[in-house]
Amino acid sequence: MSRNQQMLASKIGLGTWKMGSNGSDEAREVAALQKGIDMGVTVIDTAEMYASGGAELVVGKAIKGRRDGLYVVTKVLPSNASFKGTIQACEQSLDRLGTDVIDLYLLHWSSSHPLQETVNAFEHLVEKGLIKQWGVSNFDPADMQELYSLENGANCAVNQVYYSMGERGIEFDLLPWQAGQDVATMAYCPLDQGRLINDERLRPLADKHGKTIAQIALAWIMTRPGVIPIPKSSSVERTADNVNACDIVLDEEDMMLIDQLFPKPTGPVPLKAT
């Protein structure tokens, strides 16, 4: 059984980048997350970096009284990723989230602290019951190989990376490698930072399925084995649209057209990051 079965049981997740930056938006952000939860989404992704902890506070309010069954993901900043720093950061995230356990705790990107130190801290947090699983974010193939060479490095459950229809570079090497190691992929920016929303090349597919262009782009990501997209929206309506993309079934003809419009990589491509 895959150690990521619970996360991947939710075809789509809820991102929170930039949430918590403006107090006047909090009610709208909480409502958007709760709309996704009400529609059956169980994965919520956040980070201590987002609004300096503000996004975690928003998530904490959104999940209050409905924590059971949810899969909460947050991240430690590389600057905090020493052994002691990781543990302290985790405790602070738990407090902001208002929960006693984090389902998945990620290293946000490569750190100047020794990676073994961070892994040791993650393993300690698992032993203490403060987190259930750990992983990384923005790790390219070389980073993943280094991680797997470390003691307990193979316990990494997830790598969260930039992946969209318009940015398919990870399909050449990273995705196949992770599939072989049972490392799931969380796809941030699945709408290419909004660029795909208005990409009229996808209009024929949107019209064919009676959906929006954005929904087609999300549906495509959800055809990738072991991948879960985590689009962010502070709008109840847009959140509902994102979740409703789960109902789209793209056929072989659709997939061929997408491959023509957005070709697969034919060689290594540097990992994209925001």
Contact (Cβ atoms closer than 8 angstroms) between residue 272 and residue 177: no
pLDDT digits (tens, 9 = 90+) for 190-245: 999 999 999 999 999 999 999 999 999 999 999 999 999 999 999 999 999 999 99
Q: Is the pLDDT of residue 2 over 70?
A: no
C-alpha closest to that of 240 among 3, 12, 4: 12
Q: What is the pLDDT of residue 23?
A: 87
Any idea where the domains of the chain sit in the sequence? 5-195+226-234
Contacts with 227 (C-beta within 8 Å, 6 or more apart), sequence order: 163, 175, 184, 185, 186, 187, 221
Report which residue type is found at 170.
Answer: I
Q: What is the pLDDT of residue 258?
A: 98
pLDDT digits (tens, 9 = 90+) for 54-78: 999 999 999 999 999 999 999 999 9
Percent of the chain with pLDDT over 70: 99
Please state which CATH class domain 5-195+226-234 belongs to: alpha beta
pLDDT digits (tens, 9 = 90+) for 122-166: 999 999 999 999 999 999 999 999 999 999 999 999 999 999 999
Contact (Cβ atoms closer than 8 angstroms) between residue 134 and residue 125: yes
Question: HSE on the CB side for 44, CA within 13 Å?
Answer: 32
Q: What is the mean pLDDT of residues 83-107?
A: 98
Contacts with 19 (C-beta within 8 Å, 6 or more apart), sequence order: 25, 29, 46, 50, 51, 54, 55, 58, 59, 232, 234
Distance CA 44, CA 138 (A): 18
Catalytic residues, by residue number, are 50
pTM for the predicted model, two decimal places? 0.96
Contact (Cβ atoms closer than 8 angstroms) between residue 263 and residue 269: no
Structure-token match 């990620």, residue found: 106
